[in-house]
Chains A and B, each alone.
Chain A
């Protein structure tokens, strides 16, 4: 019988610790499939963040370096400068990238560091139990914004991709979502383009992936998807923000 579907070699068989309905798992799979399709699994070094995806090192089937909170782009820079011919990527949450690690991500982009960043934006600090992130939406409740985020107190949610797209070194910037099969396919396409951009040494590449956190949003997996569609996509529009002329 012909094989029509196989689990990607980019992921190990370990069971993940992600909550039911969490979209971190989908994003892991997309990244792994892309790296397998590009045939670079054996030449890739991943950098795991601090956040729910810290344990990514137990799931990705490739060399992997766990970094301090927010510092993944600096660690990836060290790796890439030593091994310029390897594929290097960071996988970071929104607390990790958009709060504590803003300096590291901006300067990795600014240097045009030949790395790829998978930025998982779930508008909350998942790992630590639902505190407010810079990306938390106005009115969204968080354990440190019990009445919901206000502009007056915390400012408007940070649009990281738009900001990074203004930086010359950022060759590829796209925001995607994993809320529907169609969007998942588009997300995979963007992730592939980002890695191709790195391999072609065009500069820094980042894919922001809108993701759910049913646990800390206090929603069922299905309602979480709907909440993402109704609230996140309108504020964080999906689509490409920057790509090199020819990839």
Chain B
């Protein structure tokens, strides 16, 4: 199929429908409004249902119900809306149901702003909901990757029976890029959803969708079962890109659109004789810990570059395990890091540790 020029949020909708999404429940919030708008237009044409809920709380609980009957269902929102969805997300994870949640991140805290940000890193990787649960969290750097990951997101959600979150900053939602909707062969073997609440027809015992376990021993057992699933994700779902780290003087870690700015900075640094590598996590959870093992001992520092105030540093420190100094460069509130700013920071670090 030929490439077509699309706005990010619309490409998200188109990719979801292509991935078999039939149901969408959402609530308006900038900068993701074109996703529900697109779905309201296109889903009915594709035999699906779009419904604007009364709140993000209701929207995620509609997703919970729809997913319980075996449907491919998604919702999208932006940071404060995702905060409201956390209750539903932990129920969905606890009841082991699949769904896809798109978060087009804007600045915070509170009402924050409406410009691009990455300040939901902790919200999406640590979860804002209660209990021991994890989401598979994928953060594409461009629209093509967003489109490609959408199919994987729905398949992985079904395979693991777990919510999958796609995270883009406001830029991913708003910018226009050429995208190609290509056939992606699924790597997952998907089984029939025999657990779904589709009515017993009097032919089988009733199915129950539930996250309550009043018996502590049973709840512990349930948590062990969930943990095993998260371990499987850690083993099989790590995604990242790594360039020039093997002989790097310094390694920059950045995800999403920030990684594209970092690449510009790396090119400039190269001209000035500084070898900077990049690790770009695509899966924010599971975090690509092993990617750091390729970094040489001689590397001076690892720098987290973010559109937030240093939320990814903890994961980088865990991955570094004391082997390298860890530093930070970030802008926030909707301010975008510039290549010049990143270059200046790197030079400062390189000067400092020489």
Contact = CB atoms under 8 A, between A and B. Distances in A.
B133 to A, nearest CB: 14
B212 A66 contact: yes
A107 interface: yes
Contacts of B95: 66
B121 interface: no
Interface in B191-231: 197-203, 206-212
B69 A79 contact: yes
A66 B202 contact: no
Interface of B: 22-23, 25, 49, 51, 53-55, 57-59, 61-71, 73, 87-88, 91, 95, 197-203, 206-212
A74 interface: yes
A64 B206 contact: yes
Given A75-B64, A104-B54, 15 more contacts: A45-B199, A57-B210, A63-B197, A64-B208, A65-B197, A65-B209, A66-B210, A68-B91, A77-B62, A78-B23, A78-B25, A78-B64, A82-B73, A104-B61, A106-B54
Given A67-B61, A68-B87, A62 B66 contact: no
Contacts of B66: 78-79, 81-82
A197 interface: no
A103 B71 CA distance: 25
A82 B69 contact: yes
Nearest to B91: A68
A106 B58 CA distance: 12
A176 to B, nearest CB: 26
Contacts of A77: 51, 53, 58, 62, 65
A38 B63 CA distance: 29
Contact of B209 (A62, A66, A106): A66
Contacts of B57: 71, 74, 103-104
A74 B197 CA distance: 16
A82 B193 CA distance: 15
Which 4 pairs, one residue from A and one from B, show the smallest C-beta to C-beta distance? A78-B65, A74-B61, A78-B62, A75-B65
A43 interface: yes
A61 B57 CA distance: 29
19 contacts: A42-B200, A42-B203, A43-B201, A62-B206, A63-B198, A66-B208, A71-B61, A71-B88, A74-B59, A74-B61, A75-B62, A76-B65, A78-B65, A78-B68, A81-B51, A82-B69, A82-B73, A103-B55, A104-B58
